[in-house]
Chains A and B, each alone.
Chain A
Amino acid sequence: MLSFRPLLFIILIFFCGCKKFQQLDSQIHPEWLAPIAKTTVSLETLSLLDSTQFTRKIPSLDLGFPSGITLDLPALYFSHLGPYPLAVSDWVKEVHVQTLDLTISITNSFPITIGAGTVITIRNDNDTINNQNIVSQTPLLNDILPGRTFTFNIKLNDRIIDDTVFFYLDQFNSPAQNNVTFTNSPATITVGLNILSVELIKFYADRSKSIRDTSEFSIKKNTNTHPIDDSTVEGKLIIYIDNAFPLNSSFQVYFLDGSKRNVVDSLFDQGIYLQSATTDDNGSPTSITHSIDSVIISSGHLQKIKQAKFAVSSLEMNTINNKSVEISANKQTYLDIQIVGDLKMNFHL
């Protein structure tokens, strides 16, 4: 996701970096105008999915056996065991991935063996007749004994993933076993999704997503031996933003105290709001919005920030007020952020 940690780190450097000369009183105010940090957010680095790891439970009842009863089982065979839907995202309608890393783990908590030849199938819908919806199919080469976990990794290219994917254990088979008692512990399928390269994303209209990232923030800790001097720096940080994403965004950094419950201060007065760009049907940006905002660095601001122990970066994105039913974004979309310092440094010579 869009990380603000670098920005915070840079601010720390500027707040505290001039302390080595602090031996005498000084009235020197060199004024520096220089770029400090930049970042480009692409479709890949934007947090598209609700999570990168999903777990789905498979209760014994799905095999037709209640828990707590001892049974002599014949050999089992199901052509399609499932579906087990996994909601990938509530705001992304469809992702056309160029490269996708899938890590799949099956933990067999059943008292029976899951036989080799069982196929783990991912489909974009729950239609088992139509094979066009298959995202991937991986057969088990070996039995998964009771209590064991089998993990495998596959790399997929040029696939389309919908907002919900459906897992199936196709051609599920298990050898006959006697005196078998199922418990309440379900078998589980855990899926790790790592999108490496995206071709196109289609967002739902009128949806929003909030991303927050909390990190430790302590000026005293970072400056080590030199406590911050409130008069070391004053001036402003100017933020230049080019938004080619078809997403309205706003971001803010909040500084929290040690309890993480109280907001001490925020980096921007109102947060920075970015108007969405427009894209054509292929997802290419047809207009890019440019905006400039600034943060005044004052001693009052610094006094408050000094108290902070944590910083939360908050990014709100939405597709509200977009007239299209679905909004497309391809690889040409991006969000460029550059921070320029216009700072008066108080050197101590």
Chain B
Amino acid sequence: MNRNKILIASLLLLQFELNSKCSNAQVNFGQFQNQHTFTQTSEFMPSYIGEGVRKFKITFFDFYVSASNSSISIAQLNSMINSNSWSNKTIDSLLNQLKTENAIYAGGNFSFLNVAININKHKRKFLSASIGMRERLDLNMIYSRNLISLLLKGNKQFAGEKINLSPLSVNFLQCTDYYFGMKALLSFKLGKKTLLKIKPELQFHYLTSMANVYMKKADFNLFTQPNGRELNLNYDYDMYIASPGNNMGVHGLFGEVLPKDIKKNLFNGIGGGKALDFGLGIDVNDWIKINMALNDVGSISFKNHAVNYSGNGDLEFDGFSTSYTETQNSFKSQTDSMLSILKPTIENAEYKVPFATKYFTNVSFNLMKKRKKNGMVYFRHTFNVTYIKGFKNYLNTTKVPLMALGYNYSVGNILNFGINAAKRGSDIKSVGANLSCQMGHYQLWFNCNNLLPLIDKRSAKGVDGAIGMGMEF
């Protein structure tokens, strides 16, 4: 038992490296704690394949949407939107909320089918597999406090100072995800009573995408001379866009998108890729279970309908030249000339966009083991600790980890409900709840990881929610 405690403590210590950057890791972590939704969890944490399932389970749908930002509370947002006047105080208050880097996220995960099967050998689970399809949408924007401060308060505050307007990036990825996962179950007897189960897993994803925005690089610096006689903008950006539209760069960034173009690429997409999820589950005993995963390791390639917009250079501005006689035309031509310098170089380009790789760990402590007549094993009380961390601030991941604590209560595995509380970075908190029921073979579930908009708008910085339905046999 001491060995188990040391193992858990070591894992937690290794992972608790909270810091105070922006964070918006948006996965439905509330489903980790409810046995009825383990199959959905397996979409990104394959060690849950076949968990909470006797023989097999079909999920008809499971829809999850979320939106959040890292800095501004919903109360503050409401106040700004409803206010008839913005004062300098409002602006200062807004800027005080912003961090050096800030993020906005919106996305969704729409599972249309998931089938999980357990294969038994000598009446014990031996192999589990799952297959499914889902739509994934992720949009994130990273922006700097300096940029907002510049727009709202002007550049005089930065006179004599070179300010970094980065990061400034927008990333968007839509993809259809076809996946297949396998999990093996290896049992080891430790002592007389303890049975250690090791569950290595691998999940393969084949993905097609219809649209992507990938900001590979975006550096902007502005220098204002102390006396204002010269502005110097240094810029270096590299952005890729894939779209089913035609004439990209001519008819807007995404080109001219017609219904027929969407229809033509509906199933095959305009880009394709592969990804792997690696997972490891350890059932230390019946009461302590540890699941770990590294997911979305891979990339997606865009060959056609892909354009690279890039630009870099220095723009020095010391005033419009007035050496022309036709002044208005002259200003227009000079403005056009300046804007043309900033205009990107547009090239058709094949490119590869990485997925948002994340690392998950979930430790569950289960109490009061029960077995139903149909053989289904469940626990009346389940406590969870979840840790999620991305490797960069990109799509639905952030470098800042998320820590969540959850508790679930099961009434005969017919009605399960629970609560959770999560913390991202230093100041982003959320409180959530989940509810599910199983009537015969039918399961229906709801969950929300962020009920703060209903409880405390001053702390709420996002909303999300999920609903799903399936059949378990």
Contact = CB atoms under 8 A, between A and B. Distances in A.
Given A9-B327, A30-B152, A342-B156, A36 B86 contact: no
B84 interface: yes
Contact of B319 (A27, A37, A342): A37
A6 B322 contact: yes
Interface string B70-88: 0000000000000011111
Interface of B: 84-88, 91, 151-157, 159, 224, 227-231, 317-325, 327-328, 330-331
A38 B320 contact: yes
B86 A39 contact: no
B457 to A, nearest CB: 22
B319 to A, nearest CB: 4
- In this complex, which of B227, B327, B330, B331 has the most chain A Cβ atoms within 10 angstroms of its Cβ? B327
8 contacts: A9-B331, A24-B84, A27-B88, A30-B154, A32-B155, A35-B228, A338-B319, A344-B154
Contacts of A34: 155, 224, 228, 231, 317
Interface string A7-50: 10110010000000000111111111111111110000100000
Given A35-B319, A238-B228, A29 B88 contact: yes
A187 interface: no
Given A3-B327, A6-B331, A38 B319 contact: yes
Contacts of B320: 6, 10, 36-38
Main secondary structure of the interface of B (DSSP, over half): mixed
A5 B228 contact: no
A27 B86 contact: yes
Contact of B322 (A13, A33, A39, A345): A39
A341 interface: yes
A325 interface: no
Chain A, interface size category, equals 35 or more
Contacts of B153: 30-31
A24 B85 contact: yes
A161 interface: no
A35 B330 CA distance: 17
A26 B331 contact: no
Contacts of B86: 24, 26-28, 349
A118 B353 CA distance: 82
A339 interface: yes
Contacts of B155: 31-34
A71 to B, nearest CB: 51
A340 interface: yes
Nearest to A24: B84
Closest 10 pairs between A and B when the two form their complex, measured CB to CB = A6-B322, A30-B154, A33-B228, A38-B319, A35-B319, A31-B156, A27-B87, A39-B322, A33-B156, A31-B154
A10 B151 CA distance: 21
B228 A342 contact: yes
Contacts of A349: 86
B327 A5 contact: yes
B323 A45 contact: yes
B155 to A, nearest CB: 6
B317 A32 contact: no
A36 B156 contact: no
Given A9-B328, A31-B155, A344-B154, 19 more contacts: A6-B322, A10-B320, A10-B331, A13-B331, A27-B88, A28-B88, A29-B88, A31-B153, A31-B157, A33-B156, A34-B228, A35-B317, A38-B322, A39-B322, A240-B229, A338-B319, A339-B319, A341-B228, A345-B154
Interface string A86-99: 00000000000000
- In this complex, which of A5, A26, A345 has the most chain B Cβ atoms within 10 angstroms of its Cβ? A5
Given A28-B152, A34-B155, A35-B317, A3 B228 contact: no
